[in-house]
């Protein structure tokens, strides 16, 4: 099988898993082994969270369960449906917005769902899989379709699978799939002393 790799070009050496995580839109039709699916959610489970509240939830469906697969797809905006339908696994992440222990708002609920998703993404990379997260979802539709209770919010969509052949995508998406991966320099977001003052700690020619 063709393996699609798009390692990050980094300013400093980082772990291979981080370099090799990326967000494909072309997925191989090969199903994901159940033990690998269990492993990626186990990785999510071990994310850190404020008060160890673990405010993350996932609604997941595999393509061999066409009814539930379609229900998750229906919660994505049309653009995302267009390519995510080619993934063997789709999911929605959901945040519990209040702490269980005192009912107070959890200001870090989305943050912690993001941490769980990052864990999931790295475990996926470790297993030869990749995920593609999506802000383009229809949260109220997800609430209706899946009965997501009040106090919980759908956060993001997730497509998961083995990366596939970029040629399977329409022209515009294929170009984006193969374009160089880009990031702002580290000095543009790490400051010391004052907002906006690039930290000498991350200066490139130290």
Query: For residue 174, what are its two tokens?
Result: 């294929």
Regarding 135 and contact with ligand FMN (CB under 6 A), the answer is yes
Letter string b/e over residues 153-168, b meaning 16 or more CB atoms within 10 A of that residue's CB: bbbbbbbbbbbbebeb
Regarding 49 and contact with ligand FMN (CB under 6 A), the answer is no
Q: Closest CB to ligand FMN belongs to which residue?
A: 136
* Residue of the chain from 32, 134, 142, 148 that contacts ligand FMN (CB under 6 A): 134
Regarding 82 and contact with ligand FMN (CB under 6 A), the answer is no
Distance between CA atoms of residues 53 and 30, nearest Å: 35
The span of 56-64, 134-142, 146-154, 190-198 binding ligand FMN (CB under 6 A) equals 134-142
Q: H/E element holding 79?
A: helix 78-84
Q: In the range 8-37, which residues lie near ligand FMN by CB under 6 A? A: 22-23
Regarding 119 and contact with ligand FMN (CB under 6 A), the answer is no
Least Cβ distance, residue 62 to ligand FMN (angstroms): 21
Residue 58 CA to its chain's centroid (Å)? 12
Regarding 156 and contact with ligand FMN (CB under 6 A), the answer is yes
Least Cβ distance, residue 206 to ligand FMN (angstroms): 26
Residue 114 CA to its chain's centroid (Å)? 8
Distance between CA atoms of residues 54 and 16, nearest Å: 27
Distance between CA atoms of residues 139 and 155, nearest Å: 7
Least Cβ distance, residue 33 to ligand FMN (angstroms): 23
Terminal-to-terminal C-alpha distance of the chain: 43
Query: Between 22 and 162, whose beta carbon lies closer to ligand FMN?
Result: 22
**What residue ranges bind ligand FMN (CB under 6 A)?**
22-23, 80, 132-136, 156, 181
């Amino acid at each position: 099988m063709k393996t699609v790799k798009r390692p990050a070009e980094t300013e400093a050496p980082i772990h291979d898993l981080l370099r090799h995580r990326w967000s494909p839109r072309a997925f191989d039709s090969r199903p994901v082994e159940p033990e690998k699916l269990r492993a990626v959610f186990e990785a999510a489970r071990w994310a850190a969270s404020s008060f160890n509240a673990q405010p993350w939830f996932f609604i997941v469906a595999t393509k061999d369960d066409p009814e539930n697969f379609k229900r998750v797809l229906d919660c994505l905006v049309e653009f995302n449906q267009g390519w995510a339908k080619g993934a063997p696994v789709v999911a929605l992440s959901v945040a519990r917005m209040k702490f269980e222990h005192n009912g107070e708002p959890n200001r870090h609920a989305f943050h912690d769902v993001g941490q769980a998703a990052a864990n999931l993404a790295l475990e996926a990379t470790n297993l030869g899989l990749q995920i593609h997260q999506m802000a383009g979802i229809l949260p109220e539709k997800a609430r209706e379709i899946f009965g997501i209770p009040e106090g919980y919010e759908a956060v993001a969509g997730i497509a998961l699978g083995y990366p596939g052949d970029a040629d399977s995508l329409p022209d515009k998406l294929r170009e984006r799939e193969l374009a160089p991966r880009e990031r702002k320099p580290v000095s543009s977001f790490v400051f010391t002393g004052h907002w906006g003052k690039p930290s000498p700690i991350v200066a490139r020619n130290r």
